[in-house]
Structure 1
Amino acid sequence: MFLLCSLMLGTILSSGFMSAGAEDLANTNATFYNNAQVRAADPHVLYDKASGYYYAYSTDGASRGYRFGIYRSADLTTWEALNGAIPSDDPNTWANDWFWAPECYYNENNGYYYLFYSGRMTNTTDVESHFGSFANGIKFEEACKTGVAVSRSPEGPFMNITKAPIDYYPYDPDYYDVNQLMDAAQMLPPATQALGQTAPKGVYLPFIDANVFFDDNGDIYLYYSRNAYRNWVWDTDLGKYIEESNIYAVKLTTDWWNTDGEPVMPKIDPASRDANKPAGDTSGKRMDGFTPIINYGMQKQSWENGHVNDYVDYSGTKKNRRWAEGSTTMKFYYNQNGERKSKYYIVYSCNNFENQFYGEGYATADSPLGPWTKYEGNPIV
């Protein structure tokens, strides 16, 4: 995809929330198209007050020896490619591949820029320590988590704070892990829901596309996309399992951000730690909680169904899937009968870039963790 196809969204979303001074902007229908011909998947834009530049961080576009592209612009029209964000030889590298979706935030408290990103672990020991071991020799294919690197400059280099992802183990105790009933190819789930419900229950969630939302009341939230892998959801209308990626969130503590000292890793709110551990569990393993934000079942919209027949359409080489990924959360203020009120918005993508229905939708809520209501006119892009 080309960089910043929707600059209006990109510049608004980079700030994390909208203050009262942005009310006029929220009520305008102004748009701008810059025709930028820069390849940059998963872009995130940060406006840096110190330099006066906009910085776009992307999955691709890095020079040799770096991960994640960085592009700089003074006007959101002409973009200059810089070397890249994280040196490939960073000694604290914890992931092996699938370095995706970087997002950068400036911390005025200590002067550091924080880069959140997704990565996948392929080392068996690392995978099993984060996602457990599985029966029948089935490997956990999409062992993705979120890392954090920091720099004194928006242009990098960024270095990982520690040789580990964020200390977070989201666990779904109610999920029937139907992958453990499937053959080695892992392409075709059980034909009936009844058969799927004979599978073992409980699975650790791989996740990507981290987005950090800083509410103006001081609270901080991490939004992310649960990988479609190992998330087969029974569709009663279609009468079959669809492998879905859904958007979830967890509240973070604030001490890691509200410090003038050296950077430390973000931490989840204590209330979420082991929140999904079944009663009587004595395994000693972490089983952390999460809040569902966006999924198909909460409010079914047909545009999200671009890939639900891929297994047949592609002769068994692709899974039947739905995607809800790449979210960004923000907050707008508005006046209603002279009273100042606020509304939370989340923008997200659905389907795959290979599909004509690949696009973006949005939903609204009265609080960061919802409940969320999808816009009836989705998709908007």
Structure 2
Amino acid sequence: MKNDTVGRLKMGYLPLAFVFLFFATELSSQVNIADPFVLRVDGKFYLYGTDDKKPNDGIPVLVSDDMVNWSGPAGNAAGKLALAKGSSYGTRGFWAPFVVQNNHMFYMYYTANEKIAVATSDSPLGPFMQQEFRPLNDSLKEIDPHVFIDDDGRKYIYFVRLINGNRTFAAELADDMRSLKPGTVVECINQSQPWEIISGNKWPVTEAPAILKHQGKYYLFYTANDFRSPAYNVGYAVSASPLGPFVKYKENPLIRQTDKIKGTGGCEFVTGPGEKLYMFYHAHADEQSPTPRRTLFSNAIFVPGKAAGESIFQVSENKVFLKSSAR
């Protein structure tokens, strides 16, 4: 599966059917999955992420046919999870999963114990497991993995290291999908723009990387500020190479927040109905509390910029919150 293909699809605005469907399903339960990632397989959508209520149990998965109404828990692992504690590396803090299909196998990259690990399954529902329980790197604290397969088949992983802040790095993956190619790790994003800086914050944060390829350029998305802050928001940077250097968009951040929708971040992308591009992300629970975070999505498009060959990424102001039913 090539992650970059979504960047070249014809994109438009959010279909009104989604808006109507949203209001029609208000009586359903709100989906509270933070750091959402959506995988599309054979016409179905699989939602993975962080469960703020039970972060030490494993990684949940929900299933949908339309991207708005979800059913679950739907996993094949213990507790109906996609990945359950005890079947793979980690004892606590199961966060921010990313799933990619390669050679008929599904690879889940996830955070546990502030390390990144890789588990596999022959089904998007799991169970995702490791034969040998181990992280990618046992010597450093690393979180928030995102994997990208380029047109030439080379594979890259983007992640966050906890070194004097949360800083975004990238590296080329080895062919086994479970290790890094030596000498390829580079730093891509750190705190530099005014909106990324919270007054008095001694631990700068640029985290939750995600990447799209569009017209030969690489768009690296990240979220800045502490996740508990209302100022938590998404920005992006552009490069001619998957490993950078990346130049930040001057008009960051991307998401227009409201009085009732704050703390928007942790984004990922999927090609949805109508072959349009959608950005999934989370928002604070309400105006008083950041958790459990709510899951939502917006339509996303590339538009021509002022400079020759320039494309600007934009997010629709329409925000669709996900609804769920028990499975």
**Normalised by the size of structure 2, how large is the TM-score?**
0.67
Q: Shift of the alpha carbon at 1:161?
A: 3.9
Separation of aligned partners in 2, 1:162 and 1:97: 18
Question: Structure 2 unaligned runs (5+)?
Answer: 24-28, 75-79, 256-327
Task: Give 1:59's aligned amino acid.
Answer: T
1:135-176 alpha-carbon deviations (Å, 9 max, x no partner): xxxxxxxxx22111111111111112421112x46xxxxxxx
Number of positions where the alignment pairs a residue of Structure 1 with one of Structure 2: 240
Highest RCO, 1 vs 2 (Cα 8 Å, sep ≥ 6): 2
Q: Tell me which of 182, 189, 203 is aligned to 1:294.
A: 189
Q: Which residue of 1 aligns with 2:267?
A: none
Task: Give 1:292's aligned amino acid.
Answer: E
With over 3 angstroms needed to count, the CA separation of the structure-2 counterparts of 1:156 and 1:19, relative to structure 1, is closer
Q: Which residue of 2 aligns with 1:216?
A: 151
With over 3 angstroms needed to count, the CA separation of the structure-2 counterparts of 1:63 and 1:71, relative to structure 1, is farther
Separation of aligned partners in 2, 1:357 and 1:62: 22
Task: Give 1:24's aligned amino acid.
Answer: K
1:101-144 alpha-carbon deviations (Å, 9 max, x no partner): 1111112x2x2211110111xxxxxxxxxxxxxxxxxxxxxxx2
Q: Which residue of 2 aligns with 1:68?
A: 59
Q: Check conservation: 1:148, 1:161, Cα contact below 8 A.
A: no
Q: Which residue of 2 aligns with 1:313?
A: none
| Secondary structure of the structure 1 residue equivalent to 2:10 | helix
Task: Give 2:167's aligned amino acid.
Answer: N
Q: Which residue of 1 aligns with 2:117?
A: 147
With over 3 angstroms needed to count, the CA separation of the structure-2 counterparts of 1:323 and 1:270, relative to structure 1, is closer
Q: Check conservation: 1:65, 1:87, Cα contact below 8 A.
A: no
With over 3 angstroms needed to count, the CA separation of the structure-2 counterparts of 1:245 and 1:373, relative to structure 1, is same
Task: Give 2:4's aligned amino acid.
Answer: F
Q: Check conservation: 2:115, 2:141, Cα contact below 8 A.
A: yes
Separation of aligned partners in 2, 1:98 and 1:246: 19
1:209-261 alpha-carbon deviations (Å, 9 max, x no partner): 0111111111111110112xxx33xxxxxxxxxxx21100111122x25xxxx
Separation of aligned partners in 2, 1:104 and 1:331: 18
Question: Structure 1 unaligned runs (5+)?
Answer: 1-13, 121-143, 170-203, 233-243, 258-265, 273-289, 311-319, 334-341
Query: Map of 1:197-236 to 2, 5 A cutoff?
Result: 205-227=140-162, 231-232=163-164
With over 3 angstroms needed to count, the CA separation of the structure-2 counterparts of 1:360 and 1:15, relative to structure 1, is farther
Extract structure 1 runs of 4+ deviating beyond 3 A.
28-36, 61-66
| Secondary structure of the structure 2 residue equivalent to 1:42 | strand
Q: Which residue of 2 aligns with 1:24?
A: 10
Q: Shift of the alpha carbon at 1:37?
A: 2.0
Separation of aligned partners in 2, 1:75 and 1:40: 17
Query: Map of 1:335-374 to 2, 5 A cutoff?
Result: 342-374=216-248
**Normalised by the size of structure 1, how large is the TM-score?**
0.58
Q: More strand per residue: 1 or 2?
A: 2
Task: Give 2:153's aligned amino acid.
Answer: G
| Secondary structure of the structure 2 residue equivalent to 1:43 | strand
Separation of aligned partners in 1, 2:197 and 2:52: 30
Q: Shift of the alpha carbon at 1:349?
A: 0.7
Q: Check conservation: 1:62, 1:69, Cα contact below 8 A.
A: no
| Secondary structure of the structure 1 residue equivalent to 2:195 | helix
Indicate yes or no: 2:86 matched with 1:89.
yes
Separation of aligned partners in 1, 2:251 and 2:152: 30
With over 3 angstroms needed to count, the CA separation of the structure-2 counterparts of 1:63 and 1:94, relative to structure 1, is closer
Task: Give 2:173's aligned amino acid.
Answer: L
Separation of aligned partners in 1, 2:6 and 2:197: 35
Query: Map of 1:312-331 to 2, 5 A cutoff?
Result: 320-331=202-213
Q: Shift of the alpha carbon at 1:63?
A: 8.5
Separation of aligned partners in 2, 1:54 and 1:210: 20
Q: Shift of the alpha carbon at 1:61?
A: 7.3
With over 3 angstroms needed to count, the CA separation of the structure-2 counterparts of 1:113 and 1:95, relative to structure 1, is same
Q: Shift of the alpha carbon at 1:58?
A: 0.9
Separation of aligned partners in 2, 1:76 and 1:293: 31
Separation of aligned partners in 1, 2:153 and 2:142: 25
